[in-house]
Amino acid sequence: MSLFPQRVFSGVQPTGNLHLGNYLGAISRFVALQQTHDCIYCVVDLHAITVPQKPSELVANIREVTAAFIACGVDPKSHIIFNQSQVAEHAELAWIFNCVARMGWLNRMTQFKEKAGKDRENASVGLYAYPTLMAADILVYRATHVPVGEDQKQHLELARDIAQKFNNDFSESIATAGYGEAFFPLPEPLIQGPATRVMSLRDGSKKMSKSDPSDNSRINLSDDADTIAQKVRRAKTDPDVLPSETPGLAGRPEADNLVGIYAALAEGSKADVLREFGGANFSSFKGALVDLAVAKLGPIGADMRRLQADPGYIDTVLREGSVRARAIAAQNMKAVKEVIGFIS
Ligand code: TYM
């Protein structure tokens, strides 16, 4: 049992094409956690530049993610929304973590291997060190819980390893400075619900992703009702009817994915969905899914457009959030420096 006060932290990259996977796997969970926790939600712009970004698009994408947080129901007054580059302590702690993490640990990261592809020599150093910055994002607030989709699990394990190694390496100094046995909590991933890994609508073996060249592979939060309907109707399926129980989804990735999406949007379970639709063919199930998706996502898209039309408001939210985030980060960073043996 952790002795640290509970605090939630999570981040989303401003790399465009925010989609249903980001909403169901992460942002909808952010909203729910506000009822029970102090939450800090970050637009991770420093992570975005690990691959090339056009400055004009980056600005727009930072505002898009911020608008999505608010439109989905994150309250920037009761909780904190900000962009990473306005709080320099993230990068500062990341450097220290670069000196704590081991090359062998980073060499195991599957996301780097996927993103760098065959041309690894030409990937940025930032892309390689990405997970140490992610650990710093979380730990600079000494956050205890991190809502994410399934694809971030390995990065969270690395963040725990870094926290643990820091606590061990500096245990004497941590105790002398009055922080007891551990300075950092071991942050827990919260990977919950029926849609922790939403798959591409075109290929049930591939994750729904911002970078898929086919726009039909994903439902974007900015899609209008007609586009949502068209994409759902064109989604790949198999020839069978839906099973009545969840074991019947085994070996049917596309069916499993659509049922998971329906369950998450309806805030129920896959078993609930199959109780209702078992025996139905895909054309009738897809009709119901279109209605549900449009009912849930339509108002979010409309609200995002309204917010994005007022960049001044969005920038103020980010600036005010950054001031509040910085106050926490600066205090923790001061303690880290003391523990390490820096003079400040
Ligand atoms: P990013 O920007 O790729 O994705 C944002 C969140 O959406 C989740 N997600 C999905 N969930 C279900 N199905 C999918 N197809 C899907 N695609 C994406 C991601 O798991 C994530 O929760 N490294 C992170 C950003 C980050 C971060 C952090 C997260 C930086 N620092 C600190 C937590 C804590 C990323 O690239 O997410």
C-beta of 321 in contact with ligand 1 (< 6 A): no
Q: What is the pLDDT of residue 344?
A: 86
Domains of the chain, earliest start first: 7-196+310-340 (3.40.50.620), 215-306 (1.10.240.10)
What residues act catalytically? 115, 207, 210
Q: Over 70: is that where the pLDDT of 1 sits? A: no
C-beta of 136 in contact with ligand 1 (< 6 A): no
Q: What is the pLDDT of residue 3?
A: 81
C-beta of 22 in contact with ligand 1 (< 6 A): yes
Distance 12 CA to ligand 1 centre (A): 6
Could you tell me the pTM of the whole model? 0.97
What tens digit of pLDDT does each residue of 47-90 get? 999 999 999 999 999 999 999 999 999 999 999 999 999 999 99
Closest ligand 1 atom number to CA of residue 148: 22
Q: Indicate the average pLDDT of the chain.
A: 97
SS (H, E, C) the chain: CCCCCCEEEEEECCCCCCEHHHHHHHHHHHHHHCCCCEEEEEECHHHHCCCCCCHHHHHHHHHHHHHHHHHHCCCCCCCEEEEHHHCCHHHHHHHHHHCCCCHHHHHCCHHHHHHHCCCHHHCCHHHHHHHHHHHHHHHCCCCCEEECCHHHHHHHHHHHHHHHHHHHHCHHHHHHCCCCCCCCCCCEEECCCCCCCCECCCCCCCECCCCCCCHHHCCECCCCHHHHHHHHHHCCCCCCCCCCCHHHHCCCHHHHHHHHHHHHHCCCCHHHHHHHHCCCCHHHHHHHHHHHHHHHHHHHHHHHHHHHCCHHHHHHHHHHHHHHHHHHHHHHHHHHHHHHCCCC
